[in-house]
């Protein structure tokens, strides 16, 4: 069974019959929370029709819960007496879990039982709303996600209890046992292929124990679903082996961070790539330039979604492969927006801003929203960066930290109008609580820096 194969089957009782014949007895129904972690419930197959009819009840504060398990006082959660949200299995997304016999996995659609409408914090619905706006302009975004992560092993002596699985240096763009002595990547790729989420290839990335997995390009909603499932699956498969796969932006002081690069283009109603214009300079349409301008204009606000943790801003910097300035260039990896060299149906932008910790739905919604704002406003970008970048007299810096990014998001009323007021308020409240907690916390760095000499 694959996600594609399941698309015809919408009648829960028929689905139950089919799954039972395939030896499936549990359906895992998962959905993204605000930070893009998967929340889920394992439903016994005989109860699937009831879950489809009535929904699975979760506490709405699942969206307001920190990675440490505390509930942040976001409107509609604690203050409302911790009410329910309902999650209905999206049977179009059913796929058998290749590594967990008897279990099929699908995504869930989240609604607020008081209104019957999508839950205001639901990232999947937020993206749908942004895509509906694109539809009003006759545009369908196409997205290709690339995700990097580190694979770690337990080490009681390491800070945090985890060390990198392998410390080989200089193994960028390699495969095989030299930098992956346990063949992690091959094992993973085959399981991800069998899951049917459109994984195309993978390789060892720049840093020891860092890997990159690439996904096919498809409609933005589908691409977000697949990126979300990829992160979830990679984490799950690492845990299965007693390891930790982390999509944290910059987990180690002695290694660069992990990116979540997005390839982005828009198609018109005829399915034509509207960025392609063979007769124009660089083969790029005016629409492509407007989209670049939108991404640049809204980059400070967008970074709140693309770089959503306190740690995210430690990945940025000059002379890294991560961005530092708000700029764009033609096939230039030192720029925040790179225009890869392909044209025709492959004409696209590569937004290199996002780090791997970003919630795929929010990153894609924000990027598409910013590009659309540029297109509708007819904004013009500056001339593209030439050569190796990092000239602060030429381009503005990205926000230096999460506080600045959240402030930029709040101030960017054009982008927050696209994202919706209720979502934006929830996101800002949740993330500002994270900053408050961090500011109260005495870090290892402070002790090392001050305790002995002062
Ligand atoms: N690891 C880099 C980043 O954080 C990207 C490396 C690459 O160009 O693939 O964005
Ligand atoms: Mg990479």
Same domain (yes/no): 269, 192: yes
- pTM for this prediction: 0.96
Going from the C-alpha of 313 to that of each of 30, 114, 367, the distances in angstroms are 29, 39, 18
Task: Show the domain range for 93.
Answer: 3-120
Same domain (yes/no): 111, 12: yes
Contacts of 374 (CB under 8 A, 6+ apart): 290, 291, 292, 293, 294, 295, 296, 297, 298
Q: In the chain, how many domains are there?
A: 2
Same domain (yes/no): 189, 323: yes
Question: Which of 171, 206, 319 most suits a substitution to test ligand 1, by most atoms within 8 Å of the C-beta?
Answer: 206
Q: Confirm whether 337 is domain-assigned.
A: yes
Q: Confirm whether 442 is domain-assigned.
A: no
Q: Confirm whether 150 is domain-assigned.
A: yes
> How far apart (Å, rounded) are the C-alpha atoms in residues 191 and 436?
40
Q: What is the mean pLDDT of the chain?
A: 96
> Is residue 7 predicted with pLDDT exceeding 60?
no
> How far apart (Å, rounded) are the C-alpha atoms in residues 16 and 21?
9
What is the structure's pLDDT at 128? 98
Indicate the residue among 96, 120, 144 that finishes a domain: 120
Same domain (yes/no): 65, 207: no
Q: Is the CB of residue 148 below 6 angstroms from any atom belonging to ligand 1? A: yes
Q: Give per-residue pLDDT as tens, 337-363.
A: 999 999 999 999 999 999 999 999 999
> Is residue 15 predicted with pLDDT exceeding 60?
yes
CATH label of the domain that carries residue 159 = 3.30.590.10
| Mean pLDDT, residues 6-19 taken together | 80
Q: Give per-residue pLDDT as tens, 285-311.
A: 999 999 999 999 999 999 999 999 999
Same domain (yes/no): 384, 330: yes
Q: Confirm whether 323 is domain-assigned.
A: yes
Q: What is the DSSP letter of 335?
A: S
Measured torsion, CA atoms of residues 71, 76, 82, 84, in degrees rounded to the nearest 10 = -120
Q: How confident is the model at residue 171 (pLDDT cuts 50, 70, 90)?
A: very high
**Residues within 5 Å of ion ligand 2 by Cβ?**
212
Same domain (yes/no): 75, 152: no
Q: Is the CB of residue 334 below 6 angstroms from any atom belonging to ligand 1? A: no
What is the structure's pLDDT at 3? 42
Q: Give per-residue pLDDT as tens, 93-104.
A: 999 999 999 999
What is the structure's pLDDT at 5? 41
Same domain (yes/no): 76, 174: no
Q: Is the CB of residue 322 below 6 angstroms from any atom belonging to ligand 1? A: yes
- Residues forming beta bridges with residue 212, ordered by sequence position: 148, 203
CA 148 – ligand 2 centroid, Å: 6
* Helix extents (H) in 137-249: 184-195, 220-240
Q: Confirm whether 438 is domain-assigned.
A: no
Contacts of 426 (CB under 8 A, 6+ apart): 34, 63, 64, 74, 75, 76, 120, 121
Q: How confident is the model at residue 10 (pLDDT cuts 50, 70, 90)?
A: confident
Same domain (yes/no): 112, 138: no
Same domain (yes/no): 183, 233: yes
Same domain (yes/no): 177, 257: yes
For residue 64, count CB atoms less than 10 angstroms from its CB and return exposed for 0-12, middle for 13-18, buried for 19 or more: buried
> Is residue 177 predicted with pLDDT exceeding 50?
yes
Q: Confirm whether 447 is domain-assigned.
A: no
Q: Confirm whether 439 is domain-assigned.
A: no
Going from the C-alpha of 51 to that of each of 12, 22, 33, 104, 122, the distances in angstroms are 9, 20, 19, 15, 19
> How far apart (Å, rounded) are the C-alpha atoms in residues 207 and 295?
28
Same domain (yes/no): 141, 206: yes
What is the structure's pLDDT at 283? 98
Q: Give per-residue pLDDT as tens, 367-420.
A: 999 999 999 999 999 999 999 888 999 999 999 999 999 999 999 999 999 999
Work out whether strand 103-111 and strand 26-32 pair parallel, antiparallel, or are unpaired. parallel
Question: Which of 247, 258, 334 most suits a substitution to test ligand 1, by most atoms within 8 Å of the C-beta?
Answer: 258
Q: How many helices (H) and strands (E) does the chain have?
A: 12, 15
Residue nearest to atom 1 of ligand 1 (CA): 258
Residue nearest to atom 6 of ligand 1 (CA): 321
Same domain (yes/no): 93, 156: no
Indicate the residue among 67, 92, 120 that finishes a domain: 120
Q: Is the CB of residue 379 below 6 angstroms from any atom belonging to ligand 1? A: no
What is the structure's pLDDT at 352? 98
User: Cβ distance 90 to 106 under 8 Å?
Assistant: yes
Q: Confirm whether 430 is domain-assigned.
A: no
User: Cβ distance 260 to 214 under 8 Å?
Assistant: no
Indicate the residue among 56, 91, 120 that finishes a domain: 120
Q: Give per-residue pLDDT as tens, 181-205.
A: 999 999 999 999 999 999 999 999 9
Phi then psi for residue 275, to 5 deg, are -85, -15
CATH label of the domain that carries residue 25 = 3.10.20.70
């Amino acid at each position: 069974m694959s996600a594609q194969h399941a698309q015809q089957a919408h009648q829960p009782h028929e689905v139950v019959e089919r799954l039972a014949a395939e030896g499936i007895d549990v359906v895992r129904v998962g959905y993204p929370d605000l930070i893009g972690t998967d929340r889920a419930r394992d439903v016994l197959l005989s109860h699937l029709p009831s879950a489809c009819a009535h929904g699975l009840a979760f506490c709405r504060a699942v969206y307001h819960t920190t990675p440490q398990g505390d509930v942040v006082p976001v409107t509609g959660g604690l203050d409302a007496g911790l009410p329910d949200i309902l999650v209905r299995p999206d049977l179009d997304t059913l796929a058998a879990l290749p590594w967990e016999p008897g279990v099929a996995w699908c995504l869930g659609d989240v609604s607020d039982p008081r209104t019957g409408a999508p839950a205001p914090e639901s990232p999947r619905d937020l993206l749908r709303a942004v895509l509906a706006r694109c539809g009003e302009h006759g545009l369908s975004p196409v997205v290709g996600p690339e995700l990097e992560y580190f694979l770690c092993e337990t080490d009681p002596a390491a800070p945090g209890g985890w060390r990198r699985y392998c410390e080989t240096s200089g193994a960028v763009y390699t495969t095989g046992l030299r930098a992956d002595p346990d063949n992690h990547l091959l094992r993973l790729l085959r399981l991800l292929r069998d899951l049917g989420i459109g994984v195309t290839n993978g390789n060892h990335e720049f840093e020891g124990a860092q890997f990159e997995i690439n996904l096919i390009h498809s409609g933005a909603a589908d691409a977000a679903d697949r990126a979300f499932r990829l992160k979830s699956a990679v984490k799950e498969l690492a845990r299965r082996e007693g390891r930790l796969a982390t999509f944290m932006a910059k987990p180690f002081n002695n290694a660069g961070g992990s990116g979540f690069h997005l390839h982005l283009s828009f198609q018109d109603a005829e399915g034509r790539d509207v960025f392609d214009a063979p007769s124009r300079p660089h083969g790029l349409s005016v629409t492509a330039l407007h989209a670049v301008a939108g991404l640049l204009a809204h980059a400070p606000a967008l970074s709140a979604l693309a770089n959503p943790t306190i740690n995210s801003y430690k990945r940025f910097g000059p002379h890294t492969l991560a961005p530092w300035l708000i700029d764009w260039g033609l096939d230039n990896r030192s720029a925040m927006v790179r225009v890869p060299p392909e044209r025709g149906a492959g004409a696209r932008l590569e937004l290199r801003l996002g780090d791997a910790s970003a919630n795929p739905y929010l990153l894609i919604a924000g990027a598409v929203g910013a590009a659309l704002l540029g297109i509708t406003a007819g904004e013009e970008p500056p001339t593209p960066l030439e050569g190796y970048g990092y000239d602060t007299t030429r381009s503005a810096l990205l926000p230096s930290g999460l506080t600045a990014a959240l402030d930029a998001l709040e101030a960017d009323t054009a982008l927050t109008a696209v994202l919706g007021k209720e979502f934006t308020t929830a996101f800002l409240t949740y993330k500002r609580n994270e900053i408050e907690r961090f500011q109260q916390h005495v870090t290892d760095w402070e002790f090392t820096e001050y305790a002995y000499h002062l």
